[in-house]
Amino acid sequence: MAGLDFLFAPSSVAVIGASRHAGKVGYSVFRNIISSNFPGKVYPINPSADEILGHKAYKSILDVNDNIDLAIVTVPAELVLRVAEECGQKRVKGMVVISAGFKESGRRGAELERILVEKSRKYNFRILGPNCLGFIDTFTPINASFASGSPLRGNIGFASQSGAILTGVLEWSLEEGIGFSKVISLGNKSDLNEADTIEALASDSHTKVILLYLEGVEDGVRFFEVARKASRMKPIVVLKSGVSSAGARAASSHTGALAGSDKAYSTAFNQIGILRAHNIEELFNYGITFSLQNIPKINAVAIITNAGGPGIIATDKCEEEGLPLARFEPETIEKLRSNLPKEASIYNPVDILGDAQEDRYRFALETVLSDSNVGHVLIILTPQAMTRPQKIAEAIVEVSGRHREKAVVASFIGGESVREASKTLMSNNLPCFDFPERGVKAIAGLVKFAEFMRREPDLEIPVFQVDKNKVNEIFTNVYKDNRVVLLGDEAAAVARAYGIPTPEVKLARSLEEAVEIAESIGYPLVMKVASPHIIHKTDIGGVIMNLENKDEVSEAYYTILSNVLRYFPSSQIYGILVQQMVPQGKEIIIGMTRDLTWGPMVGVGLGGIYVNLFEDVSFKISPFSRKEAFDMLSKTKAYRLLKGMRGEKPSDIDSVIDVILRVSQLSRDFRIINEMDINPLFAYEKGCSALDVKITLEKGK
């Protein structure tokens, strides 16, 4: 893990603010480093001590007559800048700033933090923190944190933006006997952030699964790129909180209104291949499961139980999680039938009855694991009169050891009476949960990650031939006009420049122009007032449809103008749009909203005037492949409509995907587009047509 070597492989460490007084953070950190058997050199820095825990103390890091790779800083915030200056002069590779009193404490702290980062740039060192608990590496080993307990050595890499969550997870891990490779408290993320952490943990051979607790992502674009690569190598599980405090800006488009910050996180995580945990328990349970088990190639699940109720509950939960129950091979069924009591249920879930002893568990598990349709087994035990949980646990360990390519997850129900058995399972790499639902959820995590692994390995981002200059020209004119919202004909022209089919439309500024345009487009036509101030144009008679000839166009021109003048006497009117009438198609919405963290988010769903009612929009962060665009569309009700319901012929789905991809390209080519809606896009049996296009640019470019 080259990127964070300064943290995890230092030859020498200085603890600036090391203290002799138990209870002080500077004491805890120094003592933890020493008692973690760190093999490198450790220097306590403290101007008023000669010696700390048997180590000679120095007044300043500059007094140490040796290279210092890493400085751990616990002094008060107001002293940190001076310390950083000295660290810079000493040419440290990194600083871990445990001290609080920075960005988290208000404006003054934020200024301190900014200067601190400047110093790190100047002297070319990295910073973890400030306002963090430090970090732990169980292999180096080094515990440079003030966490109270020390974690076991294991294969979970864990980074947390909250010290409290980090502490909590470490305490649970001790109870469950689960170990960590590296633990990182991210603090304020002034320099090192979650993307660096993922990158480092992905290439760390001691780490099998990456767990993260985040309240936000610093640099969405880099995170996306780094995490997408990492998730091909090992599972990443993220608990992202701060859902309710979502800093979503007010949206003026339908697509924007249906997006929102938390949806953006979910969308991005899913696209990256990150498993999102929805609570602390889930984060921890996924961690246990990925830590102990491998990822089976087959999704289907078999359930073995000694009681009906929990078997039914597990079956329900499988359905809820979309997990397929395995269909056993005929030989499996035959074998179960001839060896289990006749009251047993030999189909999945397999109920081996309340009087099942270890031999029956052993037989059932061996038989089911040997079935080539089975990828995962959930094995349930509830203690009954004759049950010997410990013996059964040993049988499970023995059998599952012969089937390492499949996952075995246990649920032993019943507290104290199964405690020992549960420990036996866990210490033999078999996750054991108290509730069967948690076992199913754990399996669902394995399956979800297996599906992430099976996705197209490289994104082929289609690139269309487009007319960027034309779009540039239009945007320039819009800004010149002191607007950010494009008029209908401008937006349509942008769409057309990107190969999105639109009905022909032109702006007429006079009756003569209207007639001229009408004759050049051909009939039938629709005419609409062009004004940035009038939203519901239809309601005030600002739209007239089905115009068949010159005369009707002339009449419509005056009718619209007089209607508008009546209802909006002082509104700015750019003219009248003359547009080709196109036949009614299936109404789709395709749009884009720019997320503050993740960038352009493209959406597709059921369109029309009630788009907010249907709330049927599925999103992806741009860029994405054609396959991903199809995947996005196929998750919507709109897709079912396009496929043809009630015996209808299917619409041209390819042409709709084309529009999605072209909108995606447009949103990347022009970062000044804030929001865009095509609503409706009419989809036909052949082709489609973007009837109404709305584009809003960033303010005051």
Q: In terms of C-beta density within 10 A (0-12 exposed, 13-18 middle, 19 or more buried), how is residue 584 classed?
A: exposed
Residues 513 and 507: their CA atoms lie apart, in Å, by 8
Residues 449 and 269: their CA atoms lie apart, in Å, by 12
- Out of 609, 627, 644, 654, which residue is the one contacting a second copy (CB under 8 A)? 609
Give 510 or 612: the residue with its C-beta nearer to a second copy.
Answer: 612
Residues in 62-91 at the binding interface with a second copy, rule: CB under 8 A: none
- Out of 287, 375, 383, 600, which residue is the one contacting a second copy (CB under 8 A)? 383
Q: At what angle do helices 261-272 and 220-230 cross, to 10 degrees?
A: 30
The answer to whether 531 contacts a second copy (rule: CB under 8 A) is no
Q: In terms of C-beta density within 10 A (0-12 exposed, 13-18 middle, 19 or more buried), how is residue 132 classed?
A: buried
Give 169 or 474: the residue with its C-beta nearer to a second copy.
Answer: 169
Residues in 126-165 at the binding interface with a second copy, rule: CB under 8 A: 146, 148, 160-165
As measured in angstroms, the least distance from the Cβ of 90 to a second copy is: 29
Residues in 615-674 at the binding interface with a second copy, rule: CB under 8 A: 637, 640-641, 645-647
Coil vs helix vs strand at 508: strand
- Out of 2, 23, 205, 465, which residue is the one contacting a second copy (CB under 8 A)? 23
The answer to whether 8 contacts a second copy (rule: CB under 8 A) is no
- Out of 123, 614, 635, 698, which residue is the one contacting a second copy (CB under 8 A)? 614
Residues 433 and 422: their CA atoms lie apart, in Å, by 8
How many helices (H) and strands (E) would you count in the chain?
24, 29
Tokens of 323: 């997990």
- Out of 79, 115, 386, 545, which residue is the one contacting a second copy (CB under 8 A)? 386
The answer to whether 545 contacts a second copy (rule: CB under 8 A) is no
Site string for a second copy, 331-370 (x = CB under 8 A): ------------x----------x----------------
Coil vs helix vs strand at 210: strand
As measured in angstroms, the least distance from the Cβ of 12 to a second copy is: 27
Coil vs helix vs strand at 162: coil
Give 223 or 265: the residue with its C-beta nearer to a second copy.
Answer: 265
- Contact (CB, 8 A) for 154 and 429: no
Residues 184 and 203: their CA atoms lie apart, in Å, by 16
The answer to whether 519 contacts a second copy (rule: CB under 8 A) is no
Number of residues lying near a second copy (CB under 8 A): 73
As measured in angstroms, the least distance from the Cβ of 637 to a second copy is: 5
Residues in 402-431 at the binding interface with a second copy, rule: CB under 8 A: 413-417
Residues 164 and 105: their CA atoms lie apart, in Å, by 17
Give 37 or 279: the residue with its C-beta nearer to a second copy.
Answer: 279
- The C-alpha angle 409, 415, 417, rounded to 5 degrees, equals 95
Residues in 234-263 at the binding interface with a second copy, rule: CB under 8 A: 239, 241-245
Pick the piece of the chain touching a second copy (CB under 8 A) from 21-29, 226-234, 448-456, 519-527.
21-29
In 322-435, beta strands by DSSP E:
350-351, 376-381, 407-412, 432-433
Tokens of 593: 């909203």
Residues 129 and 144: their CA atoms lie apart, in Å, by 13
Give 413 or 681: the residue with its C-beta nearer to a second copy.
Answer: 413
As measured in angstroms, the least distance from the Cβ of 398 to a second copy is: 24
Give 318 or 505: the residue with its C-beta nearer to a second copy.
Answer: 318
As measured in angstroms, the least distance from the Cβ of 177 to a second copy is: 12
As measured in angstroms, the least distance from the Cβ of 560 to a second copy is: 19
Give 92 or 288: the residue with its C-beta nearer to a second copy.
Answer: 288
Pick the piece of the chain touching a second copy (CB under 8 A) from 80-88, 382-390, 662-670, 678-686.
382-390
Give 401 or 415: the residue with its C-beta nearer to a second copy.
Answer: 415
- Out of 68, 264, 298, 318, which residue is the one contacting a second copy (CB under 8 A)? 318
Q: Strand pairing partners for 126?
A: 94
Give 129 or 599: the residue with its C-beta nearer to a second copy.
Answer: 129
Residues 135 and 186: their CA atoms lie apart, in Å, by 9
Residues in 28-67 at the binding interface with a second copy, rule: CB under 8 A: 28
Residue length of the chain: 701
Give 35 or 89: the residue with its C-beta nearer to a second copy.
Answer: 35
As measured in angstroms, the least distance from the Cβ of 222 to a second copy is: 23
The answer to whether 111 contacts a second copy (rule: CB under 8 A) is no
The answer to whether 172 contacts a second copy (rule: CB under 8 A) is yes
Residues in 278-317 at the binding interface with a second copy, rule: CB under 8 A: 279-281, 306-310, 312-313, 315-317
Residues 559 and 44: their CA atoms lie apart, in Å, by 86
The answer to whether 568 contacts a second copy (rule: CB under 8 A) is no
- Out of 86, 199, 437, 628, which residue is the one contacting a second copy (CB under 8 A)? 437
- Please enumerate in sequence order all residues whose Cβ is within 8 A of that of 442, keeping only pairs 6 or more positions apart, or say none: 285, 286, 288, 289, 409, 431, 433
Give 63 or 319: the residue with its C-beta nearer to a second copy.
Answer: 319
Give 520 or 571: the residue with its C-beta nearer to a second copy.
Answer: 571
As measured in angstroms, the least distance from the Cβ of 441 to a second copy is: 9
Coil vs helix vs strand at 318: helix
Give 11 or 279: the residue with its C-beta nearer to a second copy.
Answer: 279
- Contact (CB, 8 A) for 307 and 380: yes
In 461-515, beta strands by DSSP E:
505-508
**DSSP string computed for 635-680:** TSHHHHHHH-STTPPPP-HHHHHHHHHHHHHHHHH-TTEEEEEEEE
Pick the piece of the chain touching a second copy (CB under 8 A) from 74-82, 377-385, 595-603, 653-661.
377-385
Residues 265 and 275: their CA atoms lie apart, in Å, by 11
Site string for a second copy, 189-228 (x = CB under 8 A): ------------------------x-x-------------
Name all contacts of 113-121 with Cβ < 8 Å and 24+ positions apart.
113/188, 113/190, 115/81, 116/80, 116/81, 116/84, 116/190, 117/190, 117/191, 119/81, 119/84, 119/85, 119/88, 120/84, 120/88, 120/95, 120/191
- Out of 13, 15, 25, 29, which residue is the one contacting a second copy (CB under 8 A)? 25
Sign of the CA dihedral with 155 first, then 160, 166, and 168 last: negative
